[in-house]
Structure 1
Amino acid sequence: MDSTRSSKTRFLRRPPSRRALLLLALGAAALIALWVLFDWNWFKGPLESRVSAQTQREFRIAGNLDVDLGRVTTVRAGQLRFGNAAWSKEPVMAAAEHAELDIEIWPLIFRRSVRIPEIRLVKPLLRLETGPEGKGNWIFGDDDGSGTPPTFRKIWIEQGALRFVDDRRNTDIRIDVNSLPPRSNDSAPAVTLKGGGRWANNRFTVSGRAESPLELRNSDKPYRIDLRASAGATHAHARGELVDPFRLRDFDLRMALSGQNMEDLYPLFGLAIPATPPYRFDGRFRRDGQIWRYDRFNGVVGDSDLGGTAIIDTSGDRLLLKADLASKRLDFDDLAGFVGAPPQSGGGETSNDELRAQAARAAADTRVLPDTPYDLTKLRSMDADVRLRAQRILAPSLPLDDMDAHLRLEAGLLRLEPLNFGVAGGDIRSNIRMDARKQTIQTHAQVALRGLDLGKLFPDAELTRDAVGRIGGDIAIRGTGNSVAAILGSADGDIALGMGRGQISNLLMELAGLDIAEALKFLLTKDRVIPVRCAFGDFAVDDGLMRARALAFDSTDTIIVGEGSINLKDESLDLLLRPRPKDRSILSLRSPLVVSGTFKNPSFRPDFKRLGLRGAAALALTTIAPPAALLATIETGPGEDSGCGGSYAK
């Protein structure tokens, strides 16, 4: 036993052979040489091949490759290029001057999947675009589903650029991107955005912040944004969530929208809205399939408040706008664009440079009726179903109280049914039909006036301050033309207005009858009122010419009978009013009055050439009575004197 232990001890103490030492030295030298000479660039080829195979895109590393080994291995590389979809004209989808990628090794080896917890990029460029069939280049693999896309979690960007191109929609956007500090260690850093380009062929700029660009590939997870964009004078501020933002499939945003003129929304969104003063709105902006909703928005247009809900339906052949709008205080001239006229621009009115220039031209024009033609292309480009209710109307020159309008537009056929106004304690109810399906618009208008208070019609006139009476009537006209002036200038139809019993300033009647003595007496003492028995005007309209069939004003003091015409085509007046005072004033001139001039500059003068020629007038003044069609529209009042006119002594 002792001999055995002694032999083992001698074996263990035996020095290694020369051969063993040589082999050990060679192995150590080989390891040192490998350590000194090893270059990770040897693995660029296999790595490029692996990524290319997994994504079905070409991947190249033109710079150096360096690796820190571990369970999560860090790969550093320079001058990276990642290929684009086969259908794209641009060969590169993504590039970076420098990149660091953390790659999980075990999934890469055993599951053959690329899992990248974090990417750090310096001066990256990412090009996102949609193909001819609407497929995005961010969708990897062939149509048969081959190829497994890599999985990303975080991305850090320094001096990056994002470009989005959609040739079908004439859209090309470039945005500079930089990462913000992450909210937590597990969250993907958000980014700041600044750039612009073309949206639907309209130049615009954008700035703000958004979630990590990696979230763009997740079409089911909401993508949060807070962006401000401007296209000319139109500005938008969107904040909230998008789902599949490049298809704009679904989103839920707060959207503030403002601009100088709502007419500018047509090239941006296809909304054919007439010219307006500056506007601003804020509301909830959502999309559900092909339905876009602007819910519970509030704001102003010019000097009017406006709120409600608007829906844009893009599922049909034409865009459909449906809206339910309300205004608590509507400045009436803010609607001037709907008739082709500019809103007022003076006296503190909200306006813009373009509308101020239009208002200046309108003020210098000798005509009153708007002659700006309607845009037939716009009228045919979309459909609409819009309801607008105004509780109070601001119109200093018009005694308007409220408004209820319902506009329908379908394939160029526009209907306002109804277009109702509360006016001077009464109302004006209208139905208007404009057919723009042909080159020349054909218009039909039915207007009913009921119970308009004479005193309230002219609230600022001293001579009508104490006037009492209710005015009613009917207007039925049809015309052709592409502007308000052209439509009225070609109009045919009937216009009839009348008033029953009431009262009016005696001074006004004396001035109308040119009774100088009576007029001076009331001017020097005190005006008083006298009863009105009736007043009416009945016109036949033929090719824009209104011819008086019956025109009279009868009071206990004076009776006036008129004749003549009003030309809507050239806006001229040609009326002869024959006043005959019923009293015996020795200074009563009893001269006819000539109403001439234009709508903008009317003229009232006595016709002294006809002074004393009263025979024909006397015959005409013996009896007058309103046309039968007017009797149902005016409040004639009870009593023996309610009949208009009647016989009297000459």
Structure 2
Amino acid sequence: MQSTRNILLAVFLPSILLAAALIWATTRPAIMTPITERVTSLVTGHETRIGSAWLRWNDGPVYAIREIDIADRLQASTIDLRPNWFGFLPGITMVRSVNADSGTVIIERTGGGSMSTNYERYIDQVSLTGIDVVIRRASATTRFRIVDGSGSLRGGTLSLDAVAGDGRVYFRGDGKLTIVETIEGDVTVEGDNLATVAEALGIAAPDVPPFTLNGRLAVNSDNWDLTGISGEIGDSDIGGGLTIYFEEPRPLIEAELTSETLDFDDLGVIIGLPSANEDGAELNEAQEAANTKYQQSDRFIPDASIDFSRLSVVDADVSYSAANVIDAPFSISAFNLGLTIEESLLTIEDFTANMVDGQMSLSGTVNAREQPARSDLAGTFSNLDLEEIVPDRMARGKIEGRLDLALTGSDFRTAFGNANGSVTFWAEDARLAAVPVEAAGLDLGEAVVTLAGQDRDDPVYVEAPCLVASLDIADGIGTASPIVADTEDSVVLAKGTVNLRDETLNLDVEADAKDFSWGTLMGDINIGGKWRDPSISVDASGGAAQALFAGLLGTLASPLAALPFFETGDGEDVPCQSLLRRARSGSSE
């Protein structure tokens, strides 16, 4: 019996002492740091540097690692691992949980294929604070910072609060990387500008006002799918869904988006027009810049540049519809937009805006493959209400139109300043306010009589069976060819230029009365100055000559002094149908 006890002691005592020595050794950083470096390098296949590593006890064994750097894979200031004693068995992770703080995780996806990062093969539960995540793909690099994250890489609840660009991302879902290779859950993304969030994710989006988006996000091996979108961009609601395919050579965005109500000034930051947020909420940086530029300018065309670099980093197929539009120019009440982007070529397949009973349709391309960029636009205007377009109830009726423009330039002003093409509007059976028509021919007597007998809120109108306004545009100079209004009383003709480069007018307006009129000056009207502040002047030469002649006659007989201001009414109708046919066809002949 004694010998048996001695044998047992001889066998187990060294084992116990060895185990105690090993446990003691694991608590010594001087011993465990180089061992941990070597083992980590072998397992990951990447050179590893560690500041210190040792085993400590805190409700069980905790392996503490400080200042770890796995080349091109992971850096962290603090990692605490709780080992799994049965991690050697199949299907069980070696590490039960990891707490990590202040570091970077790099996930390499340049080869495509499985979404697995290998981390989930060794680790189950994670608790992360201040960890930058970099996902490298052949077509894009995604970057975001996990402010706080916890959950399982192998299945169960996974929660992340993260920062991407200037935006904040809140995710609550399930991660099952080794089973279905999908992380799916509810997500909220909010921030000052969607463009910065998109840039951080490796894609592109336009500048927009502050936003909040909610939806269901599925992160798959080759795409991110966001469905059931609801939220607000500025003062406009947004819904629908989108998918980001991380393809080569560029990511592809497919989106179908809708708004029940679009506040038009939310588009201001995109096109360089002023915008404001509801209830005076603070503007973002892009909105402030757009507003400042517009307020400092006396120009009509916005001083806005298109960031064509964004077109080069993403392809897209996007449809958007707004059921109701508020605060829009020209009484736009709804619109639909369909566009694609492919290799820096933006194609507007359809843009249709409803305007009261009428409609405006545009299509065309913006080619950023060339520098400067070239844009080609074609459009039609159908059944537009003149009363909504022309100020102060000066016209009534419906108007049609068309445009064909080729623009060269990377900002709106340069592009329009180099424009070539034509713009034409025409109307049949329109009605024009009588006073401006009479005044155009300086038919002062009839204008005074009309003005004296009418209600300012219900002006007197004259029939205009033919109204045509056509501009031939070359190098940013639009030449009237012609602008004609044929009314029951007068034929009004405007000739001259509309300058898109400096936004000035130089139009001479002539009129020939069809009726016998008193008070007509034999002079022309010139409309000049800036678009936003036009000036109207009268050619004084004819009027001065009339005044001198009237003075001479007045010395002979006072009633004769009025003769130079009479017009016999010999104006003839213009070839109306010919002008309308030319306008409809778009011909300049």
- Assess same fold via TM > 0.5: yes
CA distance in 2, matches of 1:248, 1:626: 71
In structure 2, how many angstroms separate the alpha carbons of the residues matched to 1:299 and 1:618? 67
Which position in structure 2 is the counterpart of 1:345?
A: 276
| 1:88 aligned counterpart, secondary structure | coil
Q: How does 1:559-574 map to 2 (within 5 A)?
A: 559-574=491-506
Aligned-pair CA distance for 1:287: 2.8
Q: What's the C-alpha RMSD, in Å, of the aligned pairs?
A: 4.3
Instruction: Look up the match of 1:89.
Output: 47
- Conserved? CA contact 1:61–1:81, under 8 Å: no
Partners of 2:33 and 2:52 within 8 A in 1:
no
1:98 equivalent in alignment to 2:56 = yes
TM-score, length basis structure 1: 0.70
Corresponding residue to 2:434 among 506, 519, 531: 506
Contact 1:308 1:324 in 2 (8 A): yes
CA contact (8 A) 2:524 2:538 kept: yes
How far residue 126 of structure 1 moved from its aligned partner, in angstroms, is 9.5
**Pairs aligned (count):** 526
CA distance in 1, matches of 2:570, 2:533: 30
Distance across 1 between alignment mates of 2:160 and 2:46: 28
The Cα shift of 1:297 comes to 0.3
Q: Once the two structures are superposed, what CA deviation does each residue of 1:310-342 show, in whole Å capped at 9, x if it has no partner?
A: 111112321111111111111223224444x15
Report deviation, 1:285: 0.8
In structure 2, do the counterparts of structure 1 residues 202 and 40 end up closer, same or farther at CA, with 3 Å as the change threshold? same
Work out whether 1:244 is the aligned partner of 2:177.
Answer: yes
Give the aligned partner of residue 208 of structure 2: 276
**Matched residue, 2:480:** 548
Distance in 1 between residues matched to 2:297 and 2:537, nearest whole Å: 24
User: Match of 1:42?
Assistant: 18
- Partner secondary structure for residue 204 of structure 2: coil
Is the contact between residue 313 and residue 321 of structure 1 (CA under 8 Å) also seen in structure 2? yes
2:408 is aligned, of 470, 480, 495, to 480
Select between 552-561 and 419-428 the one with higher mean Cα deviation: 552-561
Shift of 1:514: 4.3
* Partners of 2:544 and 2:401 in 1: CA distance: 34
Give CA-to-partner distance per residue, 1:348-381, whole Å, 9 cap, x none. 5763244223311221123232343333332122
**Does the C-alpha gap of structure 1 residues 600 and 196 become closer, same or farther in structure 2, counting only changes over 3 Å?**
farther
Distance, in Å, in 2 between the alignment partners of 1:156 and 1:433 is 54
Distance between the aligned counterparts of 2:571 and 2:253, measured in 1?
56
One-letter amino acid matched to 2:171: A
SS for the counterpart of 1:448 is strand
When residues 479 and 471 of structure 1 are mapped into structure 2, their CA distance, relative to the original with a 3 A threshold, is same
User: 1 CA distance for matches of 2:515 and 2:344?
Assistant: 59
Counterpart among 308, 320, 335 of residue 267 in structure 2: 335
Task: Give percent identity, aligned residues only.
Answer: 21
SS in structure 2 opposite 1:482? coil
Distance 1:227 1:346 in 2: 30
Q: Does 2:581 correspond to 1:631?
A: yes
Q: Which runs of 5+ in 2 are unaligned?
A: 74-78, 80-87, 111-122, 136-140, 547-563, 585-589
Distance in 1 (alpha carbons) for counterparts of 2:210 and 2:56: 48
Q: TM-score, normalised by structure 2?
A: 0.76
8 Å CA contact 1:305, 1:330 repeated in 2? yes
**Any idea what SS the aligned residue of 2:289 has?**
helix
Distance verdict in 2 for CA 1:162–1:612, change over 3 Å: closer
Whole-angstrom CA distance in 1 between matches of 2:259 and 2:288:
24
Q: How does 1:434-583 map to 2 (within 5 A)?
A: 434-458=366-390, 461-464=391-394, 467-525=395-453, 526=455, 527-583=459-515
Q: Counterpart of 2:287 in 1: which secondary structure?
A: helix
Change (3 A) 1:231 1:260: same
Larger mean Cα displacement after TM superposition, 603-612 or 566-575: 603-612
Q: Deviations over 1:238-280 (max 9, x none)?
A: 11012339x9942112111111112213431222222111111
Structure 1 residues not aligned, in runs of 5+: 1-22, 49-59, 65-76, 102-118, 133-137, 139-146, 171-187, 635-650
Residue type of the alignment partner of 2:57: A
1:306 counterpart SS class:
strand
Instruction: Give the partner amino acid of 1:85.
Output: S
**Structure 1 residue 588: deviation in Å?**
3.8
Q: Is the 8 A contact 2:144 2:200 kept in 1?
A: no
Structure 1: distance between partners of 2:570 and 2:314: 55
What letter corresponds to residue 537 of structure 1 in structure 2? A
Q: 1:297 aligns with which of 229, 232, 251?
A: 229
Q: Contact 2:268–2:274 at 8 Å: present in 1 too?
A: yes
Pairing partner for 1:210 from 147, 150, 161: 150
- The alignment partner of 1:443 has SS state of strand
Instruction: Confirm or deny: 8 A CA contact 1:291 1:314 kept in the other structure.
Output: yes
1:129, 1:164 within 8 Å by CA — same for their partners in 2? no
Deviation at 1:512, TM superposition (A): 4.0
- What CA deviation, in whole Å up to 9, does each residue of 1:464-514 have, x standing for no partner? 4xx431111211121222222222211211221111102233234344444
Task: Specify whether residues 62 and 486 from structure 1 end up closer, same or farther in structure 2 by C-alpha distance, changes over 3 A only.
Answer: same
Which residue pairs with 2:321 in the alignment?
A: 389
Partner residue in 2 for 1:105: none
94 and 280 in structure 1: CA distance in 2 versus 1, 3 angstrom threshold:
farther
Q: Say if 1:224 and 1:630 are closer, same or farther in 2 by CA, change over 3 A.
A: farther
Confirm or deny that 1:235 pairs with 2:168. Answer: yes
Contact 1:557-1:583 at 8 Å conserved across structures = yes
What residue in structure 1 maps to residue 301 of structure 2?
Answer: 369
Instruction: Check the 8 A contact 1:420/1:429 in 2, yes or no.
Output: yes
Cα distance in 1, alignment partners of residues 40 and 524 from structure 2? 88
**Where do 1:67-466 residues align within 5 Å?**
82=36, 83-86=39-42, 87-92=45-50, 95-96=53-54, 98-99=56-57, 119-121=60-62, 151=92, 155=96, 161=101, 163-166=103-106, 193-197=128-132, 199=134, 205-211=145-151, 215-216=152-153, 221-244=154-177, 249-339=181-271, 341-345=272-276, 348=279, 351-458=283-390, 461-464=391-394
Q: Answer whether contact 2:366 2:373 (CA < 8 A) is retained.
A: yes
